Structure 1
Amino acid sequence: MPHRYIAHLDMDAFYASVELLRYPELKGRPVVIGGGRRHQPEPLADGSHRFATLRHYAGRGVVTTATYAARAYGVHSGMGLMKAAALAPDTVLLPVDFDEYRRYSKLFKAAVAEVVGDTPPVIEDRGIDEIYIDLSSQPQVEADRGAALARAIKARVFERTGLSCSIGVTPNKLLSKLASELDKPDGLTLLREADIETRIWPLPARRINGIGPKSSARLEALGIRTIGELAAADPAWLLEQFGRRYGAWLHAAAHGRDERPVVTHSEPVSLSRETTFDRDLHPRGDRAALSAIFTQLCEQVAGDLQRKGYVGKTIGLKLRYDDFKTVTRDLTLPLAVDDIASIRRAAGECLKRVPLERRLRLLGVRVGSLSRTADVVTPATPGPSKPPSTGSLFDD
């Protein structure tokens, strides 16, 4: 079997790094991005800016990303901004600007395609700030396992964007994902299967992409904390503890085995929209506000479906209560839909099947079981432009 050389490229602190291009005076300072579009920097007469800090933040927002200087204080993505303020009160707080992040995402991906040069390049888009690249077909990679090409990619990305990235090059996607994190920021890590024992096995098991918080906690409860300890576990015991499919995958992943190809295109499984409220809302006391938000989410999902050319049969609802408990409900329709009336009506039916006594902190709407609009032989009849009442507590 020919050698595979798979690269995983991960932009370094992407959102924060884009903001530092806009505000270079913040370089080296702890900075977090989050809190929606509030906290805009205030331009001053001398051309400088006055920035908001976490010290004065009050609200329910979370950290979207943080500079490495902020991470040194223990601040990380997904942390509540109030908790981050307790750790690093003088950290600068900037609002998110997804339009700008998407623009830079397109720039860095185009730069990679220039270097790789295949037509089309074998690049798997994994989101706004990361990609996989199959370098196996490149004639120059065999001698140095892709190091020269990876360095050329890093240089071109910096030239086109002014941003640094970290790249891991290994025989497969699983190892490359791990490798790209080992020497951040601005790292280049090459790993062979012979390096797994020394570079990969000492890492926490949760670092494997696919081991989430629940599985990580379960492994720790069973005495397995590192990837090496997972690799040493008896395969039959893993199957007994985690089931045949997931247990077998855990054993293979811990040994660095992954045969997945780099996929240049994949269809989405679902489309969703959700929002976390600035304050907890009660289904009865805040009925009007929740009804408006509910309708807006359905409108947004319908717009996403129509813009991307999909219809879906499974409508889902997601609620998170003030005690952080999350519930979901789904309803599968006989025909695939993409209009707001059908989506809201089905989501309203889901709403009738969840308890609505507690206050809510998050509401989300999802459409799954997607198919291309052009592939649907008998499309659903479009509903009215204004959604009807669902009969839910949000509308009574």
Structure 2
Amino acid sequence: MPHFPRSIAHLDMDAFYASVELLRYPHLRGQPVVVGGRRATANESGQNFPRLRDYVGRGVITTSSYEARALGVHSGMGLMKAAQLAPDALLLPADFDSYRHYSRLFKAAVREIAPEVEDRGIDEIYIDLTALNPDGSCDGARAVALHLQQAVMGATGLSCSLGVAPNKLLAKLCSDLEKPAGIAVVPADDIPARIWPLPAKRINGIGPKAAARLDTLGIHTIGELAAAAPEWLQEHFGERYGIWLHRAAHGDDERPVVTYSEPKSLSRETTFERDLHPQQDKSELSGHFTRLCEQLAQDLARKGYVGKTIGLKLRFDNFHTVTRDQTLPAPTGEAAAIRRAAGECARRVLLDRRIRLLGVRVASLSRRDAIPEHTAPKPIQAELFA
């Protein structure tokens, strides 16, 4: 019987954003590097990037090099907190145009070898390798994974890690086992030895709240979760989620690799370096608002979509977050129309506190080429909530 009735791989780029920056600034290799915050004023050689100790603001880390991670710095952490852990780490601004470029390159390289690809984000994909590993052997799976790894390196100069397993759930767990630049091949027989010792929260689908609840119930590892009675899990987590937890812990996942799916929405948001007042900082807010709408319109055009539902997201200085939506009579992808609709959403929010975060979203998407040509948009309004 083959080890892999299905050979499913999860490919994850290694410290993707930081690695792209190190292609541009190779002299920074080996140093703790953090990507985050706004664009900085550094010379082209990258000699003048600031150290974290000099950062003042409320930005968060987008990603960090492995040298920075060794100091306890990780994505999603506030830059001020990271500065306490790694004051000498270099702070580089994010360049998402460059990251998207390298994302397209690595995915194209993979598809030339294995066309059955499910896109899961800018730096990760699932790949169905079953046809490329017909005997279902571990050696065959490893050989294909190595071929993919070499192709990605050749196309981008970047390393990636792969996990190959009988299904998507296990493959995602495995891709992290040998990072960076590693390959982990784990058949079902190896689940007790390779998977069960891992923390339960490593399972994709166990979020922070569920992980904390499991901790309080004395379940810390995947193996302990696998040993829990299904009835007990259902009692504590509800029937549907309890059944899923039991299946996930045993590596049971029948989901196919989905090679194409329509996105449900696209969005852009920004967190300000300082809280902005709706009246006193109206001009600055207006500029941010316009740029978000223009960037979102560019995203829609690049991906070939228009949308009918426009959404606004505001987070205030007390961390209270509100969202408002408006559905238009016809789909749009124009920055002016997005901004007008989002501005109308803002009229339905009590603006009595400083604003920490601003976001704009377009949902109810349709393919642009399936919609008749629409009339030219009006000019973008000059004020934020006009």
TM-score if structure 1 supplies the norm length? 0.87
> Distance between the aligned counterparts of 1:256 and 1:182, measured in 2?
16
How many residue pairs match? The answer is 383
Say which SS state the counterpart of residue 163 (structure 1) adopts: coil
The aligned counterpart of 1:80 is 78
Q: 1:215: which partner in 2?
A: 210
SS of 2:77's partner is coil
Q: Deviations over 1:158-206 (max 9, x none)?
A: 2333322111000011110110001111111111122222222222222
Structure 1 residue 389: deviation in Å? 8.8
Counterpart of 2:299 in structure 1 is: 304
Identify the match of residue 5 of structure 1 among 4, 7, 14.
7
Equivalent position of 1:21 in the other structure: 23
SS of aligned partner of 1:52: coil
Which secondary structure state, in structure 1, belongs to the residue aligned with residue 131 of structure 2? coil
Q: Which residue of structure 1 lines up, in the alignment, with residue 159 of structure 2?
A: 164
Q: In the alignment, what sits opposite 1:110?
A: 108
Distance 1:137 1:275, change over 3 A: same
Deviations 1:101-129 (A, max 9, x none): 2332233223323444xxxx111222222
Contact 2:8 2:164 in 1 (8 A): yes
1:228 is paired with a residue whose SS is helix
The alpha-carbon deviation at position 339 of structure 1 amounts to 3.5
Distance 1:189 1:146 in 2: 10
Cα distance, 1:251–1:315 mapped onto 2, change above 3 Å: farther
Counterpart of 2:13, as a letter, is M
- Which residue does 1:135 correspond to in 2? 129
CA contact (8 A) 1:317 1:329 kept: yes
Counterpart of 1:291 in structure 2 is 286
Q: Say if 1:13 and 1:337 are closer, same or farther in 2 by CA, change over 3 A.
A: same
Kept after mapping to 2: 8 A contact 1:132/1:173? yes
Aligned residues of 1:55 and 1:89 also touching (Cα < 8 A)? yes
Verify: 1:385 aligned to 2:378, yes or no: yes
Residues 344 and 385 of structure 2 are in contact (CA less than 8 Å); yes or no, is this contact kept in structure 1? no
Trace 1:22-171 onto structure 2 (pairs within 5 A): 22-41=24-43, 43=45, 49-116=47-114, 121-139=115-133, 142-143=136-137, 144-171=139-166
Q: Tell me by how many angstroms 1:334 deviates.
A: 4.8
| 1:14-66 deviation line (CA, Å, top 9, x unaligned) | 222222233232222211112222152564xxxx9344211212222221111
Residue type of the alignment partner of 2:378? S
Contact map agreement 2:106 2:156 (CA 8 A) in 1: yes
Q: Which runs of 5+ in 2 are unaligned?
A: none
Please say if residues 342 and 383 of structure 1, whose CA atoms lie closer than 8 Å, have aligned partners that are also in contact: no
Q: Does structure 1 conserve the Cα–Cα contact (< 8 Å) formed by 2:326 and 2:341?
A: yes
CA gap of 1:395–1:205, structure 2 versus 1, over 3 A, is same
SS at match of 1:317: strand
- Bigger mean CA offset, 103-112 vs 8-17: 103-112
Q: CA RMSD in A?
A: 2.7
Counterparts of 2:27 and 2:339 in 1: how far apart (Å)? 47
Q: 8 Å contact 1:5–1:172 — kept in the other structure?
A: yes
Task: Give 1:357 shift.
Answer: 2.0
CA distance in 2, matches of 1:306, 1:238: 46
Deviation at 1:70, TM superposition (A): 0.8
CA deviations 1:78-97 (Å, max 9, x no partner) are: 11111111111111222222
Question: Unpaired segments of 5 or more residues in structure 1?
Answer: none
The answer to whether structure 1 residue 266 and structure 2 residue 264 are counterparts is no
- Structure 1, residues 121-167: CA drift from partner, whole Å, max 9, x if none? 11122222222111101156533250111122222322333322111
The 1:316–1:141 alpha-carbon spacing in structure 2 relative to 1, beyond 3 Å, is farther
Aligned to 1:305, the other structure's residue is in SS state helix
> Aligned pair in 2 of structure 1 residues 93, 389: CA closer, same or farther (>3 Å)?
closer
CA deviation profile, 1:243-265 (whole Å, cap 9, x unmatched)? 44433322222221111111222
Q: 1:221 to 1:363 in 2, by over 3 A?
A: farther
How far has the Cα of 1:328 moved from its partner? 2.1
Q: Specify the code of the residue in structure 1 equivalent to 2:130.
A: S
Alignment of 1:172-211 (within 5 A): 172-211=167-206
- When the two structures are superposed, what TM-score results if normalisation uses the length of structure 2? 0.89
CA distance in 1, matches of 2:326, 2:42: 41
Offset of 1:74 from its aligned partner?
A: 0.3
Kindly indicate whether the alpha-carbon contact (under 8 Å) linking 1:29 and 1:69 is maintained by their aligned counterparts in 2: yes
1:71 is displaced (CA, Å) by 0.7
Identify the residue that residue 250 of structure 1 maps to in structure 2: 245
Of 321, 324, 329, the residue aligned with 1:326 is 321
Cα distance per residue 1:285-336 (max 9 Å; x no partner): 2223223322332333334334433232322221112233322233344543
CA contact (8 A) 2:133 2:140 kept: no
SS of the residue corresponding to residue 6 of structure 2 reads coil
SS in 1 for 2:97: helix
Q: Are the structure 2 counterparts of residues 216 and 319 from structure 1 closer, same or farther at C-alpha, using a change threshold of 3 Å?
A: farther
Q: Give me the whole-angstrom Cα distance separating, in 2, the residues matched to 1:330 and 1:51.
A: 40
**SS at structure 2 position matched to 1:33:** strand
CA apart distance, 1:341: 4.7
- Provide the secondary structure at the position in 2 that maps to 1:96: coil
**1-side partners of 2:233 and 2:306: how far apart?**
39
Is the CA contact 1:57–1:82 (under 8 Å) kept in the aligned structure 2? yes
**Aligned equivalents of 2:369, 2:154: Cα separation in 1:** 41
The SS at the match of 1:137 is: helix
- Which 10-residue stretch deviates more, 256-265 or 336-345? 336-345
- Please give the secondary structure, in 2, of the residue aligned with 1:86: helix
